Amino acid sequence: MHIPPKARSPISRRRRGFAYCAAGGACPIVPAMTGDMNIEHRAEALRHLLNERLGVGGRDFGSALRRVRRRLPRHLRRQADLIAEAERMGRNPKLARRLEGAALDTAWRDLRDHLRKIDGAAVRRDRFLAWLSVIAFDLLLIAGAFVLWLWWRGYV
């Protein structure tokens, strides 16, 4: 049975020891986030990377993700949504068993690699320069309007 694209999520439907994977077809159920780190630890590590690299804070990964949403590429936003939903579901033991470990591992690895490539100092510098350019443009606009007013009144 193939799951339509709209129904894809990190949640798998259990049936006789198999799950319907997001890629389609039946997959054996594997524990979510195999390895030494569970979903809470991985989401916390990603939240720390978001704070360190992009200067975005939040009490959990989901709230930090809402603040950084537009700064991530679209495919990474979808993967970050999977991790945020899995973090929320991981707090409930019954729902935690329904998570797909392989999809979450891939999403975590891709997002972690992307965030590690970002230079936090360059992001802060670019944000400061953007703010400074807006102020400079506003000052030029005000100065131009003042000269235009002086010319209109006949002082220049």
Q: pLDDT-based confidence at 5, cuts 50/70/90?
A: low
Q: How confident is the model at residue 77, as a pLDDT?
A: 94
User: Does the model's pTM come out above 0.85?
Assistant: no
> What percent of the chain is predicted at pLDDT more than 70?
76
Over residues 21-30, mean pLDDT: 46
pLDDT digits (tens, 9 = 90+) for 55-94: 888 899 999 999 998 889 999 999 999 999 999 988 888 8
Question: Edge-to-edge, what's the strand order for the sheet holding 14-15?
Answer: 14-15, 18-20, 26-28
Q: Using CA atoms, how far apart are residues 152 and 12, in angstroms rounded to an integer?
A: 71
91-131: per-residue pLDDT in tens? 888 888 888 889 999 999 999 999 999 998 998 899 999 99
